[in-house]
């Protein structure tokens, strides 16, 4: 029986990038947040004398060979498990490609979870499998490990170092999906030009990144005072309702909405001014404003978070009027992320 796995998107609740490091990467401080919107990755696997992978997708832009993150993940996992198997992976692509929403990275984790289910790894996991799979994920890509965590997660180092934070309550999220894609490696190269112009080195930015990670950690440490968190914050919003509970969104209580930003906007907005306009469209509600709105990762997708369904609907209408593709979704806490992953 093939195993179908939901492969959820992420946004960044703020993203701060340091100067270029000698290893070719950049230090960063970010908070990842998983969303309900997802691809579906279907995996069939059966033990065989020799491993053989086959990958298909409904979207011709998805590479179907060893360039694909799901392929890499399965290959590395089989080697680490000491197993050989024939594996078929199908990626039903619904999330934007080059959108900054981690879709390819999420596909890798979904393929791993599917493989584990198919080969019965959970019944009898090898010693230290939880650590091994985290290391494999980090080898496949900097923002793959976050999808082994889910929910609200602090991301450090090159983004692969992930620390779970208290989840924010389910919050309405509108994603604007521009037609253009942004290459992440290119965005980092463009960031380097800013670093050169401003003399920002990896060493010079290390302190700022540490300070920001402490600011995030202390904001979230006080995020959910006992007794405030609501029963029934299951991630399933009641239609039309506010998701954030009587005390307002945890995003407001943490205070982070007042200071988070995304450094990639400095790179991407001058090149694609229409994306800056989209940020304003997401922000500009007449009655209820967005809690925050910004570029996700290196873009091109932008997101806005809203205190009520009405405010989110109004943002969708503004985007539709501007002829921009959009999706209404919600943030997904850690427990719901894992519960919904294998739901059909
Ligand atoms: O880790 P990943 O393979 O996703 O990274 C792709 C490219 O993005 C890297 O080769 C590097 O150029 C850039 N990158 C970076 N700093 C990071 C993450 C990625 O410079 N923290």
- Could you report the per-residue pLDDT of 287-324, keeping only the tens digit for each? 678 999 999 999 899 999 999 999 999 999 999 999 99
Residue 249 has pLDDT above 80, yes or no: no
| pLDDT the model gives residue 241 | 52
N- to C-terminal Cα separation, the chain: 13
Residue 169 has pLDDT above 50, yes or no: yes
Query: Tens digits of per-residue pLDDT, 176-187?
Result: 999 988 899 999
What sign does the dihedral 142-68-111-178 (CA atoms) show? positive
* Residues 88-98, mean pLDDT to the nearest whole number: 95
| pLDDT the model gives residue 105 | 98
Q: Is 72 near ligand 1, meaning CB less than 6 Å away?
A: no
The beta-carbon contacts of 202-209 under 8 Å, at least 24 apart in sequence, are 202/18, 202/19, 202/20, 202/21, 202/22, 202/26, 202/27, 203/19, 204/19, 205/17, 205/18, 205/19, 205/27, 206/18, 206/27, 208/16, 208/18, 209/16, 209/18, 209/27, 209/28, 209/29, 209/156
Query: Tens digits of per-residue pLDDT, 114-138?
Result: 999 999 998 889 999 999 999 999 9
Query: Tens digits of per-residue pLDDT, 185-210?
Result: 999 999 999 999 999 999 999 999 99
How many angstroms separate the alpha carbon of residue 208 from the centre of ligand 1? 20
User: 182 or 331: which carries more pLDDT confidence?
Assistant: 331
* Residues 87-97, mean pLDDT to the nearest whole number: 96
Rounded CA-CA distance 237/250 in Å is 16
- Give the whole-number percent of the chain exceeding pLDDT 70: 92
How many angstroms separate the alpha carbon of residue 25 from the centre of ligand 1? 5
Contact 303, 293 (CB under 8 A): yes
The beta-carbon contacts of 117-126 under 8 Å, at least 24 apart in sequence, are 117/3, 117/5, 117/43, 117/342, 118/2, 118/3, 118/43, 118/44, 118/45, 118/46, 118/85, 118/87, 119/45, 119/47, 119/81, 119/83, 119/85, 121/81, 126/80, 126/81, 126/82
| pLDDT the model gives residue 221 | 85
pTM of the model: 0.92
| pLDDT the model gives residue 246 | 40
Residue 248 has pLDDT above 90, yes or no: no
Contact 178, 319 (CB under 8 A): no
Rounded CA-CA distance 139/67 in Å is 13
Residue tagged 């060493």 (tokens)? 203
Mutation pick for ligand 1 pocket among 18, 26, 107 (CB with most ligand atoms within 8 Å):
26
**Stretch among 73-77, 102-106, 168-172, 243-247 having the lowest mean pLDDT:** 243-247
Confidence of residue 228 (pLDDT cuts 50, 70, 90): very low
Annotated catalytic sites, by residue? Answer: 10, 143
Q: Count of residues for the chain? A: 344
Q: Is 159 near ligand 1, meaning CB less than 6 Å away?
A: yes
Would you call 297 helix, strand, or coil by DSSP?
coil
Residue 257 has pLDDT above 70, yes or no: yes
How many angstroms separate the alpha carbon of residue 160 from the centre of ligand 1? 10
pLDDT mean across residues, the chain:
91
Rounded CA-CA distance 170/184 in Å is 28
Query: Tens digits of per-residue pLDDT, 5-52?
Result: 999 999 999 999 999 999 999 999 999 999 999 999 999 999 999 999
How many angstroms separate the alpha carbon of residue 31 from the centre of ligand 1? 17
Q: Is 182 near ligand 1, meaning CB less than 6 Å away?
A: no
Confidence of residue 225 (pLDDT cuts 50, 70, 90): low
* Residues 208-225, mean pLDDT to the nearest whole number: 86
Dig out the tokens for 69 from the structure.
Answer: 């993150």
């Amino acid at each position: 029986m093939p195993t179908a796995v939901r492969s959820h998107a992420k946004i960044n609740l703020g993203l701060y990038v340091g100067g270029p490091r000698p290893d070719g990467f950049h230090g960063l401080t970010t908070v990842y947040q998983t969303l309900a919107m997802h691809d579906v990755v279907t995996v069939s696997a059966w033990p065989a004398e020799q491993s053989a992978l086959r990958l298909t997708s409904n979207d011709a832009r998805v590479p179907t060979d060893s360039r694909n993150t799901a392929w890499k993940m399965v290959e590395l996992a089989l080697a680490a498990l000491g197993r050989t198997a024939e594996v078929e992976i199908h990626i039903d692509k619904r999330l934007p490609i080059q959108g900054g929403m981690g879709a390819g990275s999420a596909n890798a984790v979904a393929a791993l979870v599917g493989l584990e289910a198919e080969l019965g790894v959970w019944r009898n996991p090898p010693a230290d499998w939880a650590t091994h799979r985290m290391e494999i994920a980090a080898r496949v890509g900097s923002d793959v490990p976050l999808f082994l965590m889910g929910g609200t997660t602090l991301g450090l180092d090159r983004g692969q170092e992930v620390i779970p934070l208290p989840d924010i309550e389910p919050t309405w999220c509108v994603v604007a999906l521009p037609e253009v894609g942004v290459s992440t490696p290119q965005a980092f190269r463009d960031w380097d030009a800013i670093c050169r112009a401003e003399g920002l080195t990896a060493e010079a930015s290390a302190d700022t990144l540490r300070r920001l990670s402490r600011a995030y950690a202390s904001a979230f440490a006080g995020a959910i005072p006992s007794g405030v968190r609501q029963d029934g914050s299951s991630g399933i919003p009641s239609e039309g309702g506010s998701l954030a509970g009587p005390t307002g969104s945890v995003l407001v209580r943490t205070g982070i909405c007042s200071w988070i930003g995304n450094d990639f906007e400095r790179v991407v907005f001058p090149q694609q001014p229409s994306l800056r306009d989209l940020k304003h469209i997401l922000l500009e509600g007449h009655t209820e404003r967005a809690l925050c709105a910004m570029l996700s990762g290196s873009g091109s997708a932008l997101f806005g978070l809203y205190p009520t369904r009405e405010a989110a609907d109004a943002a969708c209408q503004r985007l539709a009027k501007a002829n921009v593709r959009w999706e209404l979704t919600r943030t997904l806490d850690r427990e719901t992320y894992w519960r919904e992953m294998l739901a059909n």
